[in-house]
Structure 1
Amino acid sequence: MLEGTSRPQIFRKIILPLARPAIAVTGLFSFMTAWNEFILASIFMDDESLYTVPVGLRFFVNDYASEWDFFAAGSILVSLPVIALFIVLQRFLVLGLSSGAVKG
C-alpha cells in the first residue's frame, strides 16, 4: 500500500506466487479424490452407461471368473490422467518443498 499498489495487485504479485505450491498440491489431491471416487459413484449411479471408470473396472472381477488382464489394463488407463497432472504440477511441488527447507 505504501508503494502505491492496490489490494488486487498485492494479491496478484505477492500472495498468489507464494501460494502457488499450496494451490497446486490442493488441486492435485482434489483431482485424485474426484477421479478415483468409487464408493459414492457405485451407490448413486443406477445406469451402467453413466458409471465412472473405477466403478466400471469392478465388472472385470467377480465371484466366478476374473479377467485380470483387462482389469490391469483398465487400471493403467485410469492412472494415466493422474500421472499426467502430476508431471505438469511437479515443478510447483518441488518449489514448495525447497522453499520451505531453506531460510532466507
Structure 2
Amino acid sequence: MNSNTILSAIAEPVRLEALRMVWDGREHCVCELMRDLGASQSRMSRHMAALKTAGLVVDRRDAQWVRYRRAPNLPQAVVALIDAALALPANRERHAA
C-alpha cells in the first residue's frame, strides 16, 4: 500500500465523496454512487478503480452492476488518514461527468 497512491486517490473531490459513502462498511452499488455524486457510469468506474488501486475499496460484481465497500483489514495508519480526510467538511459542489 503506497502512501502516494492513497493521497492521490483521495485528493480528487469526487473520489473523496465516494469514499465517504463506502466508509460505512456497507456495499454501495455504482449506480448509487453515480446518482449521489452526479457522475456518469464510466467516470464513476474510473474513480472507483483509482480507490481500488489504492487499496481502499473492494468490489463485487452483481449482475450488470458493481458494488463497492471499504476494504477490510486496512492498516490502522491508513484508517486514521482516511478518517482525518473524511472529518473535513464535505465538498458540496458536485462535479458532473
TM-score norm. by structure 2 comes to 0.26
What TM-score do you get using the length of structure 1 for normalisation?
A: 0.25
The structure showing larger relative contact order (alpha-carbon pairs under 8 Å, at least 6 residues apart) is 2
- The structure whose Rg is larger is 1
> 1 or 2, which has the higher strand percentage?
2
